[in-house]
């Protein structure tokens, strides 16, 4: 059995001004975000949960969390609001800055002992 790789994604909902960082092993998650108006801005494969944590940490310095609860996130994230803690309130005019911050976090979270991974992340920017 082969190990499934994680994909790290950045999605923004322009209507709601919500920006999300997430990881998934399946494109279905990203399709669900698109169904509620989310626009995929960046996809990094393969990725690690450490990269996701660093991207979230970087965004938390500049932006407030978008939701206080899973229930509040349902109109944006659908179903039960899963992933609401990974969402930030990002005005449309600041989306590029949010992508840059998240990308810096992804770079920081890359395995420092593996420059090939860092080069791959830089190339995807």
The answer to whether the peptide bond before residue 84 is cis (omega within 30 degrees of 0) is: no
pTM of the complete model: 0.85
Q: Please state the φ and ψ torsions of residue 22, each to the nearest 5 degrees.
A: -150, 165
Per-residue pLDDT tens for 59-77?
Answer: 999 999 999 999 999 999 9
Per-residue pLDDT tens for 5-59?
Answer: 899 999 999 999 999 999 999 889 899 999 999 999 999 999 999 999 999 999 9
What is 66-113 written as a DSSP string?
S-SSHHHHHHHH-TT-TTGGGEEE--GGGHHHHHHHHHHHHHHHS-TT
Judge whether 6 and 46 are in contact, CB under 8 Å: yes
Q: How far is CA 12 from CA 5, 87, 102, in A?
A: 23, 9, 12
């Amino acid at each position: 059995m082969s190990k499934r790789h994680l994909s790290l994604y950045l999605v923004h909902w322009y209507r709601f001004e919500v920006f999300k960082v997430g990881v998934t092993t399946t494109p279905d998650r990203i399709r669900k975000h698109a169904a509620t108006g989310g626009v995929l801005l960046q996809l990094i494969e393969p990725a690690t949960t450490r990269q996701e944590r660093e991207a979230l940490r970087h965004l938390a310095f500049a932006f407030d969390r978008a939701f206080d609860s899973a229930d509040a996130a349902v109109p944006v994230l659908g179903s039960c609001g899963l992933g609401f803690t990974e969402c930030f309130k990002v005005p449309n005019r600041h989306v590029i800055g949010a992508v840059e911050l998240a990308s810096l976090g992804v770079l920081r979270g890359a395995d420092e002992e593996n420059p090939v991974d860092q080069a791959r992340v830089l190339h995807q920017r």
